[in-house]
Chain A
Amino acid sequence: MPEFWSEYLAYPWNLVAVGATAAGLIFGFIGVAAFLAIWAERKVSGRIQDRLGPTRVGPFGLLQSLADGIKLIAKEDHVPTGADRFLFRLAPYLAFCASFCGFLALPFGDGLVAKDLNVSAFFMLAVLSSEVFGVVLAGYASASKWSLFGGVREAAQVVSYEVPRAMCVVVPVCVTGTLNLNTIGRQQTGWFWDWNVFHDPFTFAAFVIFYVTATASCKRAPFDLAEAESELVAGFHTEYSGFRWSIFFLAEYGSMFAVSGLAVLLFLGGWHTGVLPFEPTVEWGFWAGNLLNFVVFAGKCSVLVLVMMWMRWSLPRLRIDQVMMTCLQYFLPISCVLLVGVCVWLLLAPAWLTTGTRFVLAFGSLALVLGVAGSVILRPPPATGPAGQLPGVWAGRSTPLTAAKAGEPGA
């Protein structure tokens, strides 16, 4: 992108233009992603709870987020008495800034990155872990004990989960030998068995652990102790309403996409489709290739975000001691073992073993995904019967309705 602006503007101004363009594009991406993700969250929760979700606003209820946004902007923005007004107003923006800065080093395609840092994986970990500040300050500044409990829980949870998350990032970094996410993405050019997640059993396990700890650090269910509705009213955002409340959710969905992007780049082949054995930007030029790259990358991120929603509406919330025990007693030792294991594997594993493991893992995962998808798509259609009658094996049996109509004694 700097080359693009250099054709039109002189030295300092091209850098300013690059910065402004990148910031605008990232802001737009977070906005659109949150817009669609909030709609998807409602639809997914609706399907899982056997209801329809939003249907009224636009086709398939797609404009539901817009309606919500208008409602939230029109709502009174209220600061409770006794709250620390400055910190209360500042907290949502702090959370959003951290989530936004995570995208600065995230490549959406080959070279399609706001700032190509040499340590971008490390940078993303650092920035995303400081999102907790907004939450903790919101909890403190609200002058409400529920908010304070939420903030304290969030601080304890995020500081603990940061450790296994960072160690799981080191596992693929050992394989790739670089912290630059753009280089890590480019190294996975080729078929899908070249992705880092299928490199060896340790990276495969590290992907699972990373994904769970990333879910926890985004304070998503089943780890959403900071906003546990059943115990803490709404946790850290109990006292927030209107626009600032929506900024918290923009930050939450932004960081969901950011950690999913990090997982995709580190483990799931980055912007590569997995079925094209070449790098699209090399073959088709920068813009055409990166158009495909961006679509593939955003699609992979959306799949991971959808799985987060699936988990949120399927699993019950853990207790705070269970959350901390899961992290400190299980994830931390497991990630240490994975780190040692991947180093030993890189040093000692013979070539036939690495190739064999790669194919077994890749095709095993493919078979699993295809099997689950097939069982969902090919399942028999729901049985239907005529009105008032029971379907399937119950056809012809009397129901309370038919029994009442025929004047027989009820079932």
Chain B
Amino acid sequence: MSLPVILFAALAAATGVSALGVVLSRNIVRSAVWLLFTLIGVSLTYFLLGAEFLGTAQLIVYVGGTLVLVVFGVMLTAQGPLQSLKTRPAEWAVGGVLGAVLFGLIVAVTLGPGGPKGVAGGGGELPGSGPLGLAFLGVTETSQPGEVTGVPAGTTIPRTPVAYLLPFEIVSVHLLVVLVGAAYLARAKRRTNTEKFKR
């Protein structure tokens, strides 16, 4: 047991417990606070894996931006049915099955033959965030880096750029869908009312 593994175990346990807190807490604001701890835990995991920029981006985008807006919205709207959430047994079943399947998939990918390897060949060292991400995408970098035009001769491009294209596109389309949805939800519903305020 080396220091990184002990730290990872503590961090993963804290993140997992707070993720359970998000799901299990009845009060929606408390749920948001548990989500805060989960996101901070994920960001600390990135720091532990040596991905400083990724961890900081996680902090500023999710913790500093998104979650503040979530809490802001929840505080303004948390009344009536949303104040305390009640989960029906059917929802428990569906959510539990989905969670179990996802967990199984992640375990299979991580521990399978194409899974990420420790940097220093076994022992306690953790794999970096790059190998982890590639393993979850199902991409194993076996091909030699090809010749790329436009750079000085002899320059090796350390990653296969194509491997990131599809996930990037998926994320972009997802964000676009979210933006369209937000615009749809926030559109002016009573168009005639705005006429009154025109001078």
Contact = CB atoms under 8 A, between A and B. Distances in A.
A52 B76 CA distance: 44
Interface stretch (B56-64, B85-93, B96-104, B185-193): B56-64
A126 B29 contact: no
A16 B2 CA distance: 12
A133 B36 contact: yes
Interface string B47-65: 0000011001101100111
Contact of A130 (B29, B53, B63, B75): B63
Contacts of A140: 29, 71, 75
Contacts of B75: 136, 139-140, 148, 151-152, 155
Contact of B3 (A15, A123, A151): A15
Given A15-B3, A127-B59, A119 B52 contact: yes
Interface in A6-49: 11-12, 15-16
Contact of A86 (B30, B56, B69, B71): B30
Interface stretch (A59-67, A70-78, A156-164, A218-226): A156-164
A304 interface: no
Contact-residue size bin, chain A (C-beta under 8 Å from the other chain)? 20 to 34
A87 interface: yes
Given A84-B27, A87-B33, A133-B36, A159 B56 contact: no
B53 A136 contact: no
A126 B33 contact: no
A130 B33 contact: no
B68 interface: yes
A75 to B, nearest CB: 26
A122 B33 CA distance: 24
A162 B3 contact: no
A84 to B, nearest CB: 7
Interface string A81-94: 00010110010000
B65 A117 contact: no
Contacts of A86: 30
A135 to B, nearest CB: 10
A87 B63 contact: no
A90 B59 contact: no
Contacts of A136: 68, 71-72, 75
Contact-residue size bin, chain B (C-beta under 8 Å from the other chain)? 20 to 34
Contacts of A119: 52-53, 56
Given A86-B30, A87-B30, A90-B33, A125 B60 contact: yes
Nearest to A91: B33
Contacts of B67: 133
Given A126-B64, A152-B76, A118 B53 contact: yes
A122 B72 contact: no
B51 to A, nearest CB: 10
Interface of A: 11-12, 15-16, 84, 86-87, 90, 117-119, 122-123, 125-127, 129-130, 132-133, 136-137, 139-140, 148, 151-152, 155-156, 158-159, 162
Given A126-B56, A140-B75, A162-B64, 13 more contacts: A84-B29, A87-B29, A87-B33, A118-B52, A122-B56, A123-B56, A126-B57, A126-B63, A126-B64, A129-B60, A133-B71, A155-B68, A159-B68
**Cβ-closest 4 pairs across A and B:** A126-B60, A129-B64, A126-B59, A12-B3
30 contacts: A15-B3, A16-B3, A84-B29, A87-B33, A117-B52, A118-B52, A122-B57, A122-B60, A123-B56, A123-B59, A125-B60, A126-B56, A126-B57, A126-B64, A127-B59, A130-B59, A130-B64, A130-B68, A133-B63, A136-B71, A136-B75, A151-B75, A152-B72, A152-B75, A155-B72, A156-B72, A158-B68, A159-B65, A159-B68, A162-B65
Interface of B: 2-3, 27, 29-30, 33, 36, 52-53, 56-57, 59-60, 63-65, 67-69, 71-72, 75-76
